[in-house]
Amino acid sequence: MQTIDDLDVAGKRVFVRADLNVPLSGTDITDDGRIRAVAPTIAKLVAAGAKVIVASHLGRPKGAPDPQFSLAPVAVRLGQILGQDVAFATDTVGDSAAAVVAGLADGQVALLENLRFNAGETSKDDAERGAFADQLAALADVYVGDGFGAVHRKHASVYDLPARLPHAVGLLIATEVGVLKRLTEQVERPYVVVLGGSKVSDKLGVIDNLLGKADRILIGGGMAFTFLKAQGHDVGSSLLQEDQIPVVLEYLERAKQNGVEFVLPVDVAVSATFPDLKTKAPVADFEVVPADAMPAGKMGLDLGPATGKLFAEKLADAETVFWNGPMGVFEHPEFAEGTKAVAAALADGDAFSVVGGGDSAAAVRILGFDEKKFGHISTGGGASLEYLEGKTLPGLAALEN
């Protein structure tokens, strides 16, 4: 893959496909990590004298404009991070975009409105998607792919547009791919994988692929209860994917055959009701129970302290760690301890640690950990998982051609 160092961009219109899909509370950005991650690529293009046109999706609008998913707040924050004004087009390929791009001088930056306000961006019809890519291509001379969080999507701006323009990868994607190669091709052992989040079905492909690569797999979050149920334990009213139990049993057996250690919770923080994440009010019936003695009518919402200690011990000797998915409902202080325990073990340890994007990356920042204490915090949870599953990512394949 070519990098931006291989391109002559001075005076040219450079289309940067970024991933600026940040969490919003109204118009307030609650985590600007993805904006900061792509800023170095944009700044380098600015310094080289390019006219930079940034584009991204935000949320899941239905192929038409929706004010709650506008990128307008992102334009303001991007300008603050870059230290220069960022012009904002109120559409993607309409009159506003054409005027804003035409008005760019060398070294200036514009942000287009949400790509997904256009049905062609996510269409499964090749012709419709290609027509939208043609409209985007008319705005630019060069394409730079740097939206790692979207490279697993066969979308117009990710997959079709690079074929229409000279193209290269940005600094962020180059870094992300390099990190993932360290997790798949150049692994230093022991290699420990920590998986959490709500659904075991979201992680089955990763587990399947890593059973022959990882030395140890730690399972937390909501997905742990399907594993505990598979071992014959009652899990109360916890999140459970009963239809996945046969697959889980097969994986546990394969792990034993391959010498891969599976580590499950030994105690769990439970409550009869899901906590209020807005008020953060204390949960009256909060208690910690053994993982094999969960009471009926109560749901597991976090690892217990003994499991937090166990997981930290299982991470202590690691040379390489991949972590994807929180260990509990970390947004509430009473159910954040398990996620904190894993984050602290990685921050204090010597392993090359990769936090695999999404909620895990948000948790690291929200819980106040120093990002520099981790080897790498990915911007793409889904993309990272699919890469580790061994899948071909359309956005990366398009940039290799």
Catalytic residues: 34, 199, 358, 382
Q: 41 near 137, Cβ under 8 Å?
A: no
164 carries a ligand binding annotation: no
153 carries a ligand binding annotation: yes
Taking the C-alpha atoms of residue 350 and residue 85, their distance in angstroms, rounded to an integer, is 40
Q: What is the DSSP letter of 3?
A: B
Q: 298 near 237, Cβ under 8 Å?
A: yes
360 carries a ligand binding annotation: yes
294 — phi, psi (to 5°)? -75, 130
Q: Exposed, middle or buried by CB within 10 Å (0-12, 13-18, 19+), for 372?
A: exposed
252 carries a ligand binding annotation: no
The pair of structure tokens assigned to 119 is 């049905």
- Angle, alpha carbons 174-180-182 (nearest 5°): 105
Taking the C-alpha atoms of residue 281 and residue 326, their distance in angstroms, rounded to an integer, is 20
Instruction: Quote the strand ranges of 108-190, DSSP E.
Output: 109-111, 142-145, 167-169
In 217-259, which ranges are continuous DSSP H helix?
Answer: 224-230, 245-258
Q: Exposed, middle or buried by CB within 10 Å (0-12, 13-18, 19+), for 243?
A: exposed
Within a 10 A sphere around the Cβ of 3, how many other Cβ atoms? 14
Q: 17 near 158, Cβ under 8 Å?
A: yes
Element (H, E) at 13: strand 13-17
107 carries a ligand binding annotation: no
116 carries a ligand binding annotation: yes
Taking the C-alpha atoms of residue 17 and residue 29, their distance in angstroms, rounded to an integer, is 20
120 carries a ligand binding annotation: no
309 carries a ligand binding annotation: no
Taking the C-alpha atoms of residue 92 and residue 120, their distance in angstroms, rounded to an integer, is 11
31 carries a ligand binding annotation: no
203 carries a ligand binding annotation: yes
6 carries a ligand binding annotation: no
- At residue 98, what is the residue type? A
157 carries a ligand binding annotation: no
Residues counted in the chain: 401
Residue ranges for the binding site for ATP? 203, 300, 331, 357-360
Residue ranges for the binding site? 19-21, 34, 57-60, 116, 153, 203, 300, 331, 357-360
Residue ranges for the binding site for substrate? 19-21, 34, 57-60, 116, 153
